[in-house]
Structures are given as C-alpha cells and as structure tokens.
Amino acid sequence: MNVATSIIALTILFSFLLGILAGKRVKMNLEMWTVGGRRFGLILVWLLMAGEIYTTFTFLGAAGWAYSKGAPAFYILIYSTLAYVLSFFLLPAVWKAGKSHRLHTQPDFFVERYGSRFLGALVALIGVASILPYLQLQLLGLGIIVKTASGGQIPSSWAMVACFVLTCIFVYTSGIRGTAWVAVLKDIMMIVAVAVVGLWVPYAYFGGIGKMFAALVQQKPGHLVFPGSTTNMDAVWVMSTALLTAMGFYMWPHTFASVFSARSSTTIKRNSIIMPFYQVPVLLVFLVGFTALLVIPGLANGDEAFLALVAKTFPAWFLGFVGAAGAVTAMVPSSMLILCAATLLSKNVYQLTLNPSASETTVIRLSRVLVVVLTGLALVFAIFFPKALVALLLLGYDGVTQFFPGVVLGLFWKRVSRSAVLAGLVTGMALVALLLLTGNDPWMGINAGFVALVGNAAVTVAVTLFFQSRERNASSA
C-alpha cells in the first residue's frame, strides 16, 4: 500500500505542476482567464469538455447505479448520446454569439440577448447555487477514492484538503488553461483505468462479458429490466429523465462557458461528433458494477462497487493507479467549477449589479480572491457538514436545465422577450422546489425536473405570444 500511496501522491503533485506551467508566459487578462483566449483546438476542447463532464461519478456513481439499481442506470448512456446530438446544432450558435459579443460566461449571454442585468444576475446566482453542491460532491468522491485506494493511509479529509489547495493554486495562476492541461492527463489515466478494469473483471470471474450477463440474468432476473432493483424508476421515469438531462447537459454554467474557448464553430461541431466515443468508458464502468454485484454482493453503499472490486482483483500498485486517476478526475471538473463560480460572482453579480464601473483588472483580482474563498467554503462543508448540501444537488441539475428555454429560444426565436424568459425561469424554479421539497419526485412517474421544464417552456411561449397579440392589437388600433 506504500506503493499505491506514493503513486497517488506523485500523480497529484504532477497534476499541480502541469496546471501551474499552463499559465507561464501568458498574460492573464479576463479573456485568457475565462475562455483561454478563444484559441483551443479540437483535441483540447474535446479533453476539456470531457474533463468537465466525466467526473468522480464515472468511478463511483455509474458503477454504483449499475450495482444497486440495474436497468435505470442505462439512462446515463441515453441522455449523453442525446446531448451530443443536440450540441451539434445548438453549441455552434452559442459559440458565434460568444465570439460576436465577446461573452465570457453564461449570464453574459442572457444580458446580451435580453438586455437585462437583473436576469443576468439571477442566472448567475442560480448557477452558483447549483455549482456549490456539485463541487462538494466532487470533494467527497475524491476523499472516498483516495482513502480506499491508499488502504486508509491517506485519510479522506487530508486528500480533500491537499488536492483542493493545489487545485486552487493552479486555477488562481492559470485560469482555464490550467484546467485544460490537467484534463489531458486526467483523460488518459481515466480511460486506461476504466478500460483495464472493465474489460478484465468479467473475464477474470466469469470467462467473458456474455457469460457474466448470463449469470446476472440467472441470479438477478429483474435487475436488467425496468424498473430494475428500484420501485419507481420505470420506463416513463427513464425517458423523462433522459430528456431532462440531455437538455440540461450543456446548461451547466461551466460547461456552457467552455464552448467560448473553442477556436471556431467548426471545432465545436467536430467535437460534437467525437464526444460519443466517451460513452465507451461509461459502458465499461457498468460492466464493473454488474460484475461486482455477483462477486461481492451486499455492499452497504453501491458507490463503493468499483473500488471494492479493483481492491479484490488487482495488486496494490494498480489500485494506486486507479486512485490517482480518480483524484485527477475530481480535480479537473472541480477546477472548472471553482473558476466558473468565482467568475459568475465577480463579473455577473459584482460588476454587473453592484459596481458597473469596475475595471477588468478588478474583476480578475476579485475572481482570484473568490477562488480561494469558494475552495475554503467547499472544504469546510465537505469535511464538517458532508450531508448539508447534498439535498441541494437535486435542485442543481433540475435548476440549470431551466436555462434551456431562454438559451434555445433566444438563439432561434427573435420574438421571445426578457419578460417571458424571466417568467418561465421563475415558474420552472418554483415547480422544481415545490415538487422536490414535497417529496414528489418522480411525479406520476415523471422526473420532477422535466415537469418543471415543461411548465417553464409553456409559460415562456405563452407570455411571448400574449405580448405579441397585444402589440398587434395596439398597432391595428
């Protein structure tokens, strides 16, 4: 286990140095800090977006769902594929808007399109509120991975503090460039780890993938058909959840903003074409979860399935490699989450509403201060109040998806107004809060966030048409 611990520590340190070097000899203005000077080519955009999307959930959550829930886990493959198809048509238009108006953040889009500082600030605050619990869960996942992979030699709290302090430093110095450079290392390690484990364990225990599935069907006949090992995640839930998460996939503020870092709209289109290749590692993670259910049944926490099976099957040094890959897998999205939240608060809340005369230098300086503050806040909650924000994550994905009507209609329907988008956004958020806080998720078998999104879109369209009708009546009079 000393070897495993050394591998984890050295990988984390190397990631830190890579992130620091990314900002060397670069003049760090707001354009470079937030969107990398809009210079990233296809490979770097691909790795950056994959680094943001494939987080500790790849190691813990996906395998855990396959282990504990069964068939409902396949919604992950469905919504990601739908999201990539949607991104081919949507994201190039987002990039063009960002290039034309020099946008840096998601709220910038709403301010520019709808001419409303209030709407921009509201979008920023919802974005930060959604990011913080997401950031906390990355911390918690990182702690679990490193503690397990090191055989307990590195306590989870130590791992969280060390990784996030180092992440904070390279974000402070290098901005999005640091995230992109570390994403290269992260993706290589993650793919190697998942490929080796996912392909080997079915053969090691059952002689092949097909034989593993045959054993699973024989021992757990209902696990691979809806609702799997759950009581309420049937086909209706899967379809509504897949649609919801596909539309919300690129509505996360950090993912939305990463589009602006691309060199051209063609780069974004090509990225949409090759992103589906990242579904293969997720499928391999499912194989690990299914195998673990047969080999080590009865785990109290299904999220431990991946690491538990690796610890049972592979030597300590490979467990250390997996732990190191998991640590970097947490550091990359966390760095982007911290960077994005700090920029939203400094640019779209402070400068936009509190001090419109603030200079770009002031915004960058405040962003860097907020990087430190937000990192410290996330550490405090993750270590001392690990369950305080987890419930808010349910509001997180459902919340950011409520931006979808405002983005899509804003790009492709000139008539939609800020009043309509604001009314729809408030309606959607109110419905999300009402349904989740009253325990109505799912509602009549439908994902609560999808119900809220339908209400949001309906109100947005209805208010737009109402004002159009009033304008026509006024002009005819």
DSSP state of 303: G
With H, G, I as helix, E, B as strand and everything else as coil, classify residue 446: strand
pLDDT at 400 over 70: yes
Range with lowest mean pLDDT among 284-298, 368-382, 410-424: 368-382
Residue type, 260: F
pLDDT at 391 over 60: no
Using pLDDT thresholds of 50, 70 and 90, give the confidence band for residue 349.
very high
pLDDT at 123: 96
What is the phi/psi pair of residue 446, to 5°? Answer: -105, 140
pLDDT digits (tens, 9 = 90+) for 367-380: 999 999 998 888 88
Using pLDDT thresholds of 50, 70 and 90, give the confidence band for residue 151.
confident
DSSP state of 457: H
State the SS3 of 17-67: HHHHHCCCCCCCCHHHHHHHHHCECHHHHHHHHHHHHCCHHHHCHHHHHHH
Long-range contacts, 73-78 (Cβ 8 Å, 24+): 73/228, 73/286, 73/289, 74/238, 74/286, 75/238, 75/241, 75/242, 75/245, 76/282, 77/279, 77/282, 77/283, 78/238, 78/242, 78/246
pLDDT at 55 over 80: no
CA neighbor of 310 nearest in space, from 329, 285, 335, 331: 285
pLDDT at 475 over 60: no
pLDDT at 350 over 80: yes
pLDDT at 470: 65
The encoded tokens of residue 254 equal 């950090």
Using pLDDT thresholds of 50, 70 and 90, give the confidence band for residue 74.
very high
The encoded tokens of residue 457 equal 């879109």
Q: How far is CA 290 from the centre of its chain?
A: 24
Residue type, 466: F
pLDDT at 50 over 90: no
| CB-CB contact of 337 with 171 (8 Å) | no
Using pLDDT thresholds of 50, 70 and 90, give the confidence band for residue 149.
confident
Query: What is the pLDDT averaged over residues 260-267?
Result: 95
CA neighbor of 237 nearest in space, from 72, 35, 97: 72
Query: What is the pLDDT averaged over residues 321-336?
Result: 90
Between 25 and 259, name the one with better pLDDT.
Answer: 259
For the beta carbon of residue 99, count every other beta carbon within 10 angstroms.
15
Contacts of 378 by beta carbon, 8 Å cutoff, 6+ apart: 132, 135, 136, 139, 164, 338
The CATH homologous superfamily for domain 2-390 is: Sodium/glucose cotransporter (1.20.1730.10)
Query: What is the pLDDT averaged over residues 89-105?
Result: 95
The mean pLDDT value of the chain amounts to: 90
CA neighbor of 3 nearest in space, from 189, 148, 150, 145: 150
Query: What is the pLDDT averaged over residues 66-85?
Result: 92
Using pLDDT thresholds of 50, 70 and 90, give the confidence band for residue 403.
very high
Query: What is the pLDDT averaged over residues 185-205?
Result: 94
Query: How far is residue 270 from each of residues 37, 263, 276, measured CA to CA in Å?
Result: 20, 12, 11
pLDDT at 315: 93
